[in-house]
Structure 1
Amino acid sequence: MNETSPNRPAQGGSVILRPDIQRLSGQFIRLAEKTENRQQLILDFLQLSIGLINAAGAIFYRNDGEAPVAEGKLLSRQALSWSGSLPSLLEDSAKDALSSGSAQYGRLAEFPAAQIISCPTGERGHFSGCLSLVVLTAEQPIESFLAISQLLSALLSFLLRNDKPIEPPSHNTLQQIAAITAHVLETGNQQEALVQLNTQLRNWAASDQVALGIATASGRIVLSSLSHVTSVDQRTEQSRTLTKALTECTIQKEMLCYPAADDPAVHSSPILKDLLNFSENNQVVAVPFGDTKGNVIGAALFFWATAGDRTYILKSLDTGKHLLAACLNAIQDKSSFRIASSIRDQRQHKRSQLKTLLLSIGFVLLLGAISFIPVPFRLSTDCLVQPISIRFIVSRFDGILQDVLVQPGDEVQDGDVLARLDGRDNELDQAALAAERNKARKTRDHHLASGNTAAAQIAGLEEQRLEQQLSLLQEKQKHLTLSSPIDGIILTGDMKRIEGSPVGRGQTLFEVSPLKAMIVELAVREDHISFVDPGMEVTVRFDAYPNTTWNGKIETIHPKSMIRDNRNVFIAELEFTNPEGRLRPGMQGKAKIDAGMKPLGWILFRKPWYTLLWLKDFLF
């Protein structure tokens, strides 16, 4: 028996959990929505890949021609301990994969159980990068890991191909605002364009919140977009206060700021002060947008949680306000916006369909490959501790139970006295028989002296008969003391309650079992017995010792089933040594039988498949 304690969680570092296989498609789709942040997209993809195949690390290299550049890296301390030159080995593997245009793999010389797999990303003739993974394959075939790694590489290539973040060509204000405007006008509809413009302006100004208002044909300002709000409700107090501030800005046709800015061209406003009291921010700037003819197009409010010097932002907004006004005017013109975006909508729809198709094919192939990965197949059973043998202590003669020295649960040694029977009647019978025997002996001697041979022989036979009866009583006297034949524990025999009562011949008084070894019975379900064979490894955890596990191997399996807890089960037995006497007969627990390696798909879907077969036989 091997006795172990449960593992403790690793100290320090982060733990990458295995992703939910049933929700894998949703996780990859959410990654596809993060294309505005390339770095975060790569890191999230590496984390998902590590959890999917239980890798020890992953790096994505960008192909810069001469040498690959690590653009995202996640390496565990365990992986770094396997080889001091692991980063350089990963880079060399990535170079080989990019130069050959095919996946490369090889074992670590310092730790042969781990392998490096590198798969290029991109299209043949132009590989944009390489995905390198450190996997612990052990005895499992490399083909499954290689197939999954290449599928992951293809998915990452597709995700990065659709990565189109807005990067201003320079720090020039007009170029930045022009880039924002161009990106907004590519949006499919008016509401999405307003939300996109709001988001781009908030990121560009590093503000905490932005409110956009558009002027109607009558000149009234309508709150059209608000950060962190999908749909603006004009009836709320917040919307009315924001609309009031936007209207004040367009009436004065100049930028307003509170607290007051250092620029004399920017004025303060009590309405903005009231607006800050209504919100949780500490600084606000209002900017009107108008065309070259002086017509009001709209306005914007920028909020910051902390007050500071926003001179650069104010000057930049003053420089680009006409360009932003043109953008708002284009968004407001619904008919022209729709015509201009209809072709883009069709192209976007086709790209979306192609993307969905490729992702679906990738997911199906990925799930199919994952389903063939061999994983440990373990069966859970109930278990019960039974003694390896039981010795029964019985009364050999009828008598009175005089003394009881033990009770159930007591540990005894070989030869320890367990109980005594009353021997007074036996002693009286022995004395009477001894007297009769002596009398017969004297009678025989008398007849021999008188020459009466026949009478002497009869007296001799009587003496022998009495001698035999006396020997029987003497033997009975020896067994009036009941002793333990082995070292062990008293299982049953609470005889103190009947001390002084008569006991019959053959009556069981005590049951004694040895403690040096115990038999553990596993109740294997009928539908699991075909997977269980002698010699399989078993891990047992008893209810009495939840923090300790016992390990052993199945020795025998009973050929006949039995009913236990209203279930039809087969009993499998294994023996545990018990030097400390911790295991006691009757203890219960749970056992895990290691039934070898099985494909993951077979483990997950075998029960539904068997149910379908049963329904087919039942219905047809």
Structure 2
Amino acid sequence: MNALPVLPDSSAPTPLLVDGWSRFVAARTSAEFCDAWLTVLRDKFPLIVQAAILVESSDGQNYVPIAVWPQANSDMARMGEAVQRALTDRRVVVQPCAEPAGLWHVAAPLAVHDRIAGSVVLELTANDEMLPGLLRELHWGSAWLSNLFIRREHDAALAASVRSLGVLEAIAIALRHERFQQALFDLSNELRRRFAGMRVAIGLMRHGEVKLTALSEAATFEKSSPLVQAYSAAMNEACDLAQPVEAAAPEHDAPDSFRAHTALLQRTGAGRLLSLPITQQAKCIAVVTIEREAPAPFGEEERKWLETFGALLAPVIAQRVDAERGSWQRLRDEGRRFLAALLGPRHLLWKAGALAAALVLALLVFLPVSYRVSAKTVTEGETQRVAAAPFEGFLAASFVRAGDIVAKGQPLAQLDDHDLRVERAKWASERDQYDNKLREAMAGHDQTAMQVVGAQLREAQAQLDLLDDKLSRVKLLAPYDGVVVTGDLSQQVGTPVEAGKKLFEIAPLHSYRIILQVDERDIGQVRAGQSGELVMTGLAGEPMPFTIAKIMPVATAQDGHNFYRVEARLKQDSPLLLPGMEGIGKIGAGDRKLGWVLLHSLFDWLRLNLWSWGL
């Protein structure tokens, strides 16, 4: 509960006590209230030698005196130990003074909502009889100080709330419009109204210099006019000083060193002005200048409002300015930031990355490497012969299949000759009959019969010759020593075959040609006579050199791409090589720069597409 200071027990109060109580009742400030409270306490307890009331500083880091009695002096430092114990232990501390002897220190913490907001410390002469009463009076009377601190915090919170609401209203104006220029114009008019100013100007940092961007009650202005130049000079002066600059006209105040602000005051006729730099990440991005006709200085509450406003406005300006940059401006800013990180201090990773990129670029541009065209490769025999069915018939037997080595004249397969032999016997019988008829006609000298029977005899003989020829070709023979490349009839015995049907394909041994399928995008790099190396799938550990022999001028489509057939000859035959083997061949196309080898396909594609688009 709140307790009033107790007056001494006498019929009439002393004049000093009445004076202290009058000051206590009439106090208007916290300092006056605390000073009167100490006076009343000292008047009631004369044993108090000196006293002080400490309150928490604005930054919350330490405690500073708000009132002292009788006056501040160096002897008060010896009361610090008692104050420290009271604040740490959160209780009243009574302890003797080490030097000079005979003095005692009393310190009581002042709590506000479970928080220590200050302390009362007294230095007094030893008096065992009056000490309990002093402690009781200190306990009761400290409630006045606690109420004072609560009221101060409430007033500060209320003022901060009002200030924050006003700042948010002003920030909302800066966010209201789509175009930032219009938002700044409305914001300058709002600031002029709020501070009862004569004029408010807002400038933005552009290319290292603050330029006037918005002027209250002036939607447009001439950027090269002397007035605008004066505003820009004053704003740059505040930006260079990196602190708020308040200046008054010379006739209202003593001249100061702010020359640009003094020149602006003389040009506009204002009594006082304040320039507030708006900073973002320790960099000045804008300046707000407020002019007043009256020479009265800006109050503490107004400065706090402006500081809060500047802290909240800084990110808004940075984001809006960044959002309204053009494409070239964005590119230029990013380039400058990159160069600053690359050439300026710190940013070791950027520098290492740039050095690595420069090294890679140098290798791409200057390092020569051997360029080789890769192509899918297959081996074929130098000459390939096809063993086809000589006539229609049925397959009687198959003696070989793909992969078998055959000798010249070796049977490959045999057709069924039963029907041929039956038909031959028939035509042989008819031939004998026509021969007998011819003899009879010749004996009877019948010329007509001789001609008719002779023709029939010749027909029968021709049929016999044809059948004998077919019978001689019933067995398919190997044309030369080689290997069967294709053909496996072991599962088709007894099935009919058509005349001319390919049954086997035979290639000679140790005489091959290499067929490379070169993509049309790389065919321009291939010339006859170029050398290369071939690695077959089954012989991956043995590269075989070859030479380009011929480039076929006809392309074939495979898997959505066009390929040219390129023939090559092995420089040295390999006994392990077989027809039909596949692999990868690389054709040496000379030395090229590493960058060209890696990127020429991309550049060719870009050129082709740009050409197709008409560029």
Which TM-score bucket, shorter chain as reference?
0.3 to 0.5
Greater RCO, CA 8 A, separation 6+ = 1
Output the TM-score relative to the length of structure 1: 0.39
Larger radius of gyration: 2
Output the TM-score relative to the length of structure 2: 0.39
